[in-house]
Structures are given as C-alpha cells and as structure tokens.
A = this chain, B = another copy of it.
Amino acid sequence: MCSHVPGTLPTSQRAQRHQRARRSGLVLVKNPHLDLMEEDVLYHLDLGTKTHNLPAMFGDIKFVCVGGSPNRMRAFAQFMQRELGLAAAGEDVADICAGSDRYAMYRAGPVLSISHGMGIPSISIMLHELIKLLHHAKCRDVTIIRIGTSGGLGIEAGSVVITDMAVDSSFQPRFEQVVLDDVVVRSTELDKDLAEELLACSRDIPDFPTLIGHTMCTYDFYEGQGRLDGALCSFSSEKKLEYLRRAYEAGVRNIEMESTAFAALCGLCGLKGESYLKPKCALGDLSACCTN
C-alpha cells in the first residue's frame, strides 16, 4: 500500500510482517512512518507511548465497544462490570481519557468502552488512535463492535440490526476516503461469522427481535436521511419516501452516520468488526411501499 519511506522496511518485507501479524491476531497499522517515530502521542485520547505503559494498561483487552454518546458508553462499561462480576452495582468507572473532552474511554475487565461522537470524521479520528493504541499495547484477537442508535427502515419497532455490509447514500458498499486530494475507495464488508454469532446470541434472549441487514451511512442527519424537520428541507414527503423505498429495496434496514468508515478502517487493520444498532425511530412508514 505504501511507497518506500527512507529508513523503513521495503514494501515486500512490510507485506511479510503484515501477514505474520495477521496470522498472530495482532492489530495492524499500515504506516511505515510510525517505525521512525520516537514517541506516538494519541492526542485526542490523551495517551501516548512515552507517557503511558500501553501494554500494561491495555495488553489484555479482547473486546472494544464503541458508540456515539459518552454517557451511554459509561453506562455500558458499568453494565459490563456488573455482568462480569467485577464491581458492586452502581460503582463508578473512571474515564481513561479524562484529560481530553473529545472522547471518553472506560474499561471493564477485557472490555473497552469508548465514545466516538457523531459522524465519519469524528469516529475516524478515534479509530486511528484506538488502532495505534491496540497495536502499541500488543493486543491480540481483538473484536470491535459498534453499538448505538440509528433510524430504522421498514422493520418492526424495537428491532436490532446487525450490519452485514455498510453502504453509502447511493447504496454502494464502499467508503470514499480523501487522501490528500486523491479519492481512495475502500471496502465496507464486516465480519460475517461475527454477525452470525451475534444473531445466535440474540436468539437466546426472549422478545429481542434481531435481524441482519445493510446499514446505510450518511454525512448528514437532516437532509441526508430524508428528515422533514431540519432548518433546510427542499424535498417533499413523497420524494423522501421514494428514496427510502429504494434504500429498502437495496437491502438497507437502518441508517446512521459512521458505519462505512468503521467497516473500512477495521477491515484494513485486521480488527474483527461488527455493528449492532438499535433503531431509535422509524425514518418513514414504508408499509405502503415495501414488498416485505
């Protein structure tokens, strides 16, 4: 992927190292410049390789759960602590990134719970730094799951959608990343085995409607998702429903704002990733126009 940077390994040797790392379950970084840096400051997480002993702090992490809201991610860490029998009910968890107010990070045993804010740019910054954190900490076989809310599309109220593929606003399974001023297209496939495993877990819980489907990712909440209540709206209710109907027919079952970047970054760095989202609202009544 990278051209040869002076002072680093040539591409063929790096490719071999990546293959070994992938087989070993380590998290990959694909940046030859990192080898040349004396210190790596994970600025937005308020962590760094010289200021913190990252292998000691995070080396045993096996699961990372990420979601938009800091309060919800704290509540999730508290829930995990109770589930794992690690703390008394109501005991608080410490924010590992308390020195930064960009993201919040909590841990409960082998589980990290991190907030990522809203939208692709915000989750991307966090994921770049999280991936480097897991790499520096020499974590192995890490599973990452995005949990959160979304808008549902033609599905039963209260259902949870497990994403098999993240698609863009044209329903294509791709993430267009601008690198300097070039556009690079990246794959947005998620881990199919993990999706099936999560679905099986859901089936063990009574009254927990869960399905696997495509998740559409947009850059805008109001005009991009067909909402009629933004400060700007130039389309009719009919035009909105026609768009959502086309999305449904393309396999989309929910809409949010981070999944394509999440899928692309996890895929490139060897993280087993999945997105597990509970639609909070129905984006339109598709009962009249959906075939199933």
Contacts and interface: CB of A to CB of B under 8 A. Distances in A.
Interface of A: 1-3, 5, 29-34, 37, 40, 68-71, 101-102, 117-122, 124-125, 127-129, 131-132, 135, 169-170, 177-181, 184, 218-224, 226, 228-237, 239-240, 243, 257, 265, 268-269
Nearest to A40: B229
Copies per complex of this chain? 2
What 4 A-B pairs come out closest when comparing CB atoms?
A119-B121, A31-B233, A131-B231, A33-B228
Contacts of A184: 234
Contact of A232 (B31, B68, B101): B31
Contact of A122 (B3, B118, B180): B118
A222 B239 CA distance: 37
A221 B118 contact: no
Contact of A233 (B32, B122, B129): B32
Contacts of A69: 101-102
A93 to B, nearest CB: 15
A234 B29 contact: no
A120 B118 contact: no
From A5, A70, A128, A218, name the one whose CB has the most chain B CB atoms within 10 angstroms. A128
Contacts of A34: 229, 233
Contacts of A223: 177-180
